[in-house]
Every structure is written in C-alpha cells, then in structure tokens.
Amino acid sequence: MRAGYRSVSVTALRALIAGAAGLLAPAPAWSQAAAPTPAGTPIVNTAALGFDLNGATQSTVSNTVTIIVAERLDVSLVRTGQGAVVVTPQPKAVPFTLTNRDNGNESFAIAASVSAGVFGVQALVIDADGDGLYDPVKDLPPADGRTPVLSPGQSIKLLAILVRTDSSGGAATATLTVTAQSTTGSGQPGSTYAGLGDGGGDAVVGPTGAIASVVVPLTTGIAGPSLFKSQSVLAADGSQNAVRDAVITYTLEARFTDAVTGARIVDPIPQGTVFVPGSLTLDGTPLTDAGDGDAGAFDRNASAPGAAGGGIAVALGQVAAAAVHTVQFKTKIQ
C-alpha cells in the first residue's frame, strides 16, 4: 500500500456512495444484458470523498454532472412475401412492415414510386388492422406522408396500393420502390443533429443511416417466359448500407406461362464484387459451385459485358407450364 493512502472496505465505499446519491442502490448485475436506455434520459452522477481528520471520519461530495442520452436514429423496412407482383387494373395491395429501431420516439416519412408508366401507385397507406388486405374506408394515407410517432421497437404495417394505368393489354415489367426515412434526420452513420433528440439531447444517425428502402418487381402477367431480378444488401453492422464487405443477395425469378425446353439462367458477377462461394441456390436448394451433376455452377472464367469475376449459370431444362423457379446467389462488395 502506498504511503498516505488508506484502504476502504466495500461497506464503507457503498456508504459513501449512498451519501452522495441519497440512496444505496443494489449492485448492478453486469453479467446480465440490459435494455437500451431510452433517449432523453438524464444520466446524473455525484462522487463522494471520505477522509479522516483530527480523529474523526468525515466526507464531502463533488459537484453533480449530467448528460442526456442521445437519440439513435434507425429504421427497418421489410416486405411481406416475395417474388414478382402481378398488377391489374384492380387495386393490388403489397404489404410491408416498418419498425422503429431507434431508442427514442420517432416518426418516419414514407414514399412509394414505380419505374414504368403502365403502373401507378394509387396510395401508400397504413394497414389499420394489419391483415394485409386493403380497406379504403379504414386503411388511410398518413398525414403529410409521415407515420404516427412510434415508440422504440414499435412496428407499423403499410400497404402500397398499385394499379395498371393503361388499357393496351401489352406486357410490361417494372419495379416498385418503397422508402422510409426518419423525420428528425438521416445520412451517414454518426451524423449528429444537435438538440433534436428526445428530451433536448442530440440525435445521432445509427447504422442504418435512418433510411430504408425495399424494391419489388412488378409484372402485368406476361405471355411467355419472363425473368425478374431483385437485390438486397446486408452490411456487417446489420444495416442496408452498400459498404465494403457488405453482402448483396441477388434473386432471379423465372416465370413460365407455357411449357418450354432448354431453359437456363446466366448472370455475370458484377464489377466491384466477388462471388460468395456456396451461395448459389435453386428454389431454395443449395447447388455446388462446380460444373458437376447438379443444375448450377459458378464459372470464374466466364466473360460477359460488365462481368469482372466470372458468372453463375443454372440449367432448368424442361419446364412445365405455369411454373416458377427462383435462383439466388450472393456477392461481396470489395
């Protein structure tokens, strides 16, 4: 023990803490996972100094310091269902789930758009009873395109209502994009909005960038085979940010109205990414990367416009009428 210093028992230390804080709280169970502290919570701390003077034990307390827990801005948007959506002149509802991944109370601006003129977004509404079915009487667009304020972890159901806007009867494809964005702010993770968080604290953009989007393939019901492609991104931090080492999952959905033979799907690995070994599947069944007995293969020497790292090929062969086959594979951003 260094000269001039005196050991303090645990009991005495707790008594000092009690004198500083006004109460003696039970020792925290550090080994247990704690729920996130809500945004806007004041964290208050006062220290104590105990000492012996002239044979008497005395104590004094420090000034009190306070910090307000910042609000972390995060959001998740997930589509219910998968595959291409067939759009007709009658309203078609496409369901989504939006979740506030914030530690504070937050509302979100929502929007929907389509990439081709033969399709239209009639409305983007809140699914009042969460049944996935559109009821124009009770399923209404949110005021100013913003959801109600959601508490931390709370989810809300959305419906994008689509219609076919032309009467030509021709075949067409497109994509629907639905986005959700924090109304407080969004941007690069770590960006700060001073004083805009709950309780007057700061708001800090979390791993998702406080914005999320989902892309859904659309079709008018094509006469003949069709192929729809969609993608999703997952970064190491769980966000949808397309950063280095993030994994892109590509989904290819082949639809057949008539029976065909010799059907095959090929897709080059895009520049700036590398193929993730063992990620190729057909209708959910894994395929080997080698050109062996199963239907799929990855050829690192395949060349195609825009391909830098080979490509995948899946032989469907003879396909029955009204069949749908789905191929998936993954690449990693370099």
Task: Please give the Cα distance from 286 to 300 (Å, whole number).
Answer: 18
- Say yes or no: 65 and 176 in one domain: no
Q: Is residue 3 part of a domain?
A: no
Of 3 and 108, the structure prediction assigns the larger pLDDT to: 108
Domain of residue 142: give its range: 70-223
**Of 69, 84, 118, which residue sits at a domain end?**
69
Task: Please give the Cα distance from 42 to 67 (Å, whole number).
Answer: 6
Give the range among 41-50, 125-134, 140-149 with minimum mean pLDDT: 41-50
**Of 223, 249, 284, which residue sits at a domain end?**
223
Structure tokens at 277: 């070994």
- Say yes or no: 172 and 99 in one domain: yes
Q: Is residue 4 part of a domain?
A: no
Q: Is residue 172 part of a domain?
A: yes
The enclosing domain of 85 has a CATH number of 2.60.40.10
3-state helix, strand, coil in the chain (%, to 5): 5, 45, 50
- Say yes or no: 63 and 181 in one domain: no
- Beta-carbon count within 10 A of 203 CB: 25
Task: Report the share of the chain in percent with pLDDT over 90.
Answer: 46
**Of 22, 41, 69, which residue sits at a domain end?**
69
Q: Is residue 320 part of a domain?
A: yes
- Say yes or no: 86 and 218 in one domain: yes
- Say yes or no: 110 and 158 in one domain: yes
Overall average pLDDT of the 173-199 stretch: 92
Report the domain count for the chain: 3
Q: Is the pLDDT of residue 306 over 70?
A: no
Residue 322, pLDDT score: 80
Overall average pLDDT of the 21-32 stretch: 43
- Say yes or no: 132 and 192 in one domain: yes
